[in-house]
Structure 1
Amino acid sequence: MVTAVAAIVVALASLWVSYTQARDSRRHGRQSVRPLLQMRRIKEYEGSEAGLNVINAGLGPAIVTSSVVRLDGEVIGQWDYHTQQRLLGPFPAQPKAHSLRPGAVVLAGQSTFLLSLDEFSDDQHGWFWELVTRRLVIEIRYESLYGGENFMVTPPVF
């Protein structure tokens, strides 16, 4: 009787160890392909490209699920061509813009400007730096290949 009870206890302990190992292995697998988008404002020196940059510093691709653009606190749409045209239309110089529509993929290690000006000059393009640092907020929601995580990135607060 004691041997049978001991065998059942050993079997249950073995089942528990197997379960926790499988759970930890799945968790590790998800973390090994987790994307990590970071947004930053870049203005290095006169004459260089300046703007709002997004980089995937994680280990896996980031799949964009949605985006929200706010100008002066008011929602004006998602980060797509139409919103960019409405946003940038009245400005004197046309910055370059890169859309991130739902389903777009940002590969691990990829870096791209969402909005930028070539040959940036503080004297001529102060309006652009004001837009990027104080007036414009782009919120991007994304997930990994596994899906369902609802990660989010926004520019850092100045």
Structure 2
Amino acid sequence: MRMETVIAVAATVIALGSLWVSHSQSRATRMHNRQSVRPILQIRRVHENGRVGLQVVNAGLGPGIVTDTVVRLDGEVVGKWDREVKDRIFAASDRPVTYSLRAGAVVLNGQQTFLVRFDSDDPDRLERFWELVSRRLVIDVHYESVYGGEGFTVSSLPAG
């Protein structure tokens, strides 16, 4: 083989190797950027100091954009987490403070918000409400990051 041919083949192999390394590096950078703004929503059940409720917390690094909510009462779907469903679930005498998460709502990183909170000095009323939010009421929140399309979900249903 001629020297020019060997040099041309070696240059082509080096160029292809560089192209592969560059592609792998840009792919890793894109994955890292997505992970660096990933929201991690959690729903905590709270029962303390005369307060009972469900609290949504964004423990991730980026904002969580709500795409949908599903509410179940005693295992049956009753709708989305909105005023109409809340009016059907909660009695007028035990009306809690609520926060709606509509499609497009943003939960900022580090944000903590009660989806439903009931305050009372009456232990019996607190226990009745605790029974409702800890065993009968389930709220699922579907969300994604700013990149979109991930389809993350968090539920107030206890794991296990």
Taking structure 1 as the reference length, the TM-score comes to 0.93
Q: Residue 39 of structure 2 contacts residue 109 of structure 2 at CA under 8 Å; is this kept in 1?
A: yes
What SS does the aligned partner of 2:124 have? coil
What SS does the aligned partner of 2:139 have? strand
Q: Which residue of 2 aligns with 1:21?
A: 25
Deviation sequence 1:66-114 (CA, Å, 0-9, x none):
01000000000000111111111x3532111110010100000000000
What's the Cα RMSD here?
1.4
Pick the structure with more helix per residue. 2
Q: How does 1:90-105 map to 2 (within 5 A)?
A: 90=91, 92-105=93-106
Match for residue 80 of structure 1 among 75, 79, 82: 82
Residue 125 of structure 1, CA deviation: 2.1
- Structure 1 stretches of 5 or more lacking a match? none
Given the superposition, is the C-alpha separation of residues 156 and 75 from structure 1 closer, same or farther in structure 2, using an over 3 Å criterion?
closer
Q: Residue 50 of structure 1 contacts residue 120 of structure 1 at CA under 8 Å; is this kept in 2?
A: no
Deviation sequence 1:36-83 (CA, Å, 0-9, x none):
0001101123x3x22101000001100000010000000000001111
What SS does the aligned partner of 2:39 have? coil
Q: Which residue of 2 aligns with 1:7?
A: 11
Q: Which residue of 2 aligns with 1:128?
A: 129
1:64 has 2:66 as partner: yes
Residue 3 of structure 1, CA deviation: 1.2
Residue 121 of structure 1, CA deviation: 4.5
1:149 has 2:138 as partner: no
Taking structure 2 as the reference length, the TM-score comes to 0.92
Q: Which residue of 2 aligns with 1:109?
A: 110
Given the superposition, is the C-alpha separation of residues 121 and 15 from structure 1 closer, same or farther in structure 2, using an over 3 Å criterion?
farther
- Structure 2 stretches of 5 or more lacking a match? none
Q: Residue 40 of structure 1 contacts residue 156 of structure 1 at CA under 8 Å; is this kept in 2?
A: no
Counterpart CA distance in 1 for 2:57 and 2:105 is 14
Counterpart CA distance in 1 for 2:140 and 2:29 is 32
